[in-house]
Chains A and B, each alone.
Chain A
Amino acid sequence: MNPTTDLAGREPILQVRDLVKHFPVMSGGVVRRRVGDVHAVCGVSFDLHEHETLGLVGESGSGKTTVSRTVLGLETATSGQVRYQGRELTELSRRQMRPLRRELQIVFQDPYASLDPMITVHELVAEPLRIHGRYGPGAGDEVRELLRLVGLNPEHGNRYAHEFSGGQRQRIGIARALALRPRVVVLDEPVSALDVSIQAGVLNLLMDLQSELGLSFLFVAHDLSVMRHVADRVAVMYLGRLVEVAPARQLFARPAHPYTQALVSAIPLPDPRKERARKRVPVQGEVPSPVRPPSGCRFRTRCPKFADQLTESERAACVEKVPELVDRGGGYPVACHYAESVELL
């Protein structure tokens, strides 16, 4: 984390503009027809700067995982642009994209599913080198160094992934992602599947790696506490759209969007006195279906502000107009017609 550095002057290494991804919903039967779309991502724009960790947080159905896949071209965007160092990724063919994959890597969520069970750990980490023609003499040592780097014993390279614990498997995944020395690493819930005490080790590792190697992280997670710890800036997603993007400290201390406020107040703190004394922002209901999202502001069906504090005419705006993600006086973009910073912690 580099809280004091001003990011305004730096060129973004990754620029995402108006990214849209819809998944068709097919009917069953002999002739399958498209009956609707899952609006997973609807016009997401953000910048990732060099050496920064941008957190992408949201609950289920927010679209954050789809964003992480689409940015890397693992899913084809329905529309929108993804610019890496000035090059437009969405227009590249698979062959053209291949050399760029060295620089844009990903660490997956599931330490049990993301490693091929039939391949030794050494081979797993060596695979990126082989694919890109870099497995020459001395590569064996390179692989061992990578294993050492992430805190594993290089002597265990001839074992298979399932012989390791969840935390160790995640480290193997990280070693694999680093093999080609990427510049941008997308981390899709890298610690969600791990026990808390193991999580901490992997988080420390990631932070060390970032600061020493100058990596840029797009860190996707649903756990706000983890986000607070690792992210420089945080982007909050709800039902396919960004609702607030702010530096981590700001976002958690004084969130402006009602959804962010609800999220922050819903996270239980491991501190009995504070936890019992907290101010809560209650939120009703469940996340609407992404097949038929609400018009206007998508959060309005659960928004406590909409329900309790707005007049009829004010509500009309929420129903009819999609709130833009712009700075409304707080210094950082918020997508709410009636945004108001509230101190919650």
Chain B
Amino acid sequence: MTDIEAPEVARTEGEFTVRQRSQTRMVLRRFVRHRAAMISLVVFVLIVLWAFVGPHLWHYSYQKFTPDNSQPPSWKHPFGTDSSGYDGYAQVMRGTQTSLKIALMIGLGSTLVGSVWGAVAGFYRGLVDTMLMRIADLVLTLPLLAIALVISSRSGGSWYWIAIVIAGLTWAYVARVVRSSVLSLREKEFVEAARALGSSDTRIIFRHLLPNALGPIIVNATVLVATGILTETALSFLGFGVQPPDTSLGLLVAQAQTAVDTRPWLFYIPGAFIIAIALTVNFIGDGLRDAFDPRQQRVRQ
């Protein structure tokens, strides 16, 4: 029996049907399923938009005072006014904006520094690792608030200095996490493959190791943003954070301490925003952590 013919039968690309989901899509899918995280994401995005776009749409500025002093919330002033007549709505918007800027910068800065630090330590191991991580450990032992107080009291109140100071103390957490990720990743065969191709160490770290450690990095970044908000609040509360005429949520709360009973809107409204931001960011972090969880990977055939 020779030449068995196979007439035109549509050959489907069966190989790609199930595996279509790229990793990113899988992660997104799992995130979307985490209801608390999704709601938090929406709320957070709304807050951010409100804080950054809102001031341009509002007729009062946070810097100019109005003739209405110590007014409770009304249609004219939705968040009331304080004793000097500053509009509460504008103040809280501005305050949120500043606090967010600080928190996001903390998240970004310490993640960048910490990731590279941890990756280099984990990759080279040995003496380099020991030295780098001892420094990181040292930084971790420093009392965050105390140091921040000292440094920021000398630097004036600009928001980016505060962010830099806090980031300069929290990067060590990220470094730890990234280092342990890299320690296990570096044993993977695709790293050996890169070496076999003649790849430089820098290339291996930035092209192969860090992208694969993205899961824990992102999750930690959200934690840092939440920590950032709360730390800035604490600093400003103690008077060492943002200084007037600029304002932040922490500062607003600090200034409203004495008015808690008489003019509660000045205290509780910024306070609520602080809590809202910290909570939503935490939930987003939870959702991301679940989404990146390797144990939930689809079973490989």
Contacts and interface: CB of A to CB of B under 8 A. Distances in A.
Per the CB under 8 Å rule, do A and B touch in the complex? Answer: yes
Interface of A: 72, 74, 97-99, 101-102, 105-106, 108-110, 112-119, 127-128, 131-132, 156, 159-160, 162-165, 168, 173, 176
A114 B197 contact: no
A119 B200 CA distance: 17
Nearest to A72: B196
Interface string B16-49: 1001101100000000000000000000000000
Interface in B120-168: none
Given A160-B22, A162-B23, A164-B19, A114 B190 contact: yes
B242 to A, nearest CB: 39
Nearest to A123: B207
B22 A108 contact: no
B199 A127 contact: yes
A72 B195 CA distance: 10
B219 to A, nearest CB: 17
Contacts of A97: 198
B211 A108 contact: no
Interface residues of B, number: 26
Contacts of B212: 116-118
Interface string B179-202: 000000000111011111111100
Contacts of B64: none
A72 B207 CA distance: 23
Given A106-B196, A162-B19, A163-B20, A113 B188 contact: yes
Interface in B197-227: 197-200, 203, 207-208, 211-212, 214
A110 B198 CA distance: 20
Nearest to A100: B198
B192 A108 contact: yes
B191 to A, nearest CB: 8
Contacts of B199: 127, 131
Nearest to B195: A74
Contacts of B16: 156, 159, 163
Nearest to B21: A163
Contacts of A112: 300
B134 to A, nearest CB: 16
A89 B249 CA distance: 64
A131 B300 contact: no
B123 to A, nearest CB: 15
B19 A163 contact: yes
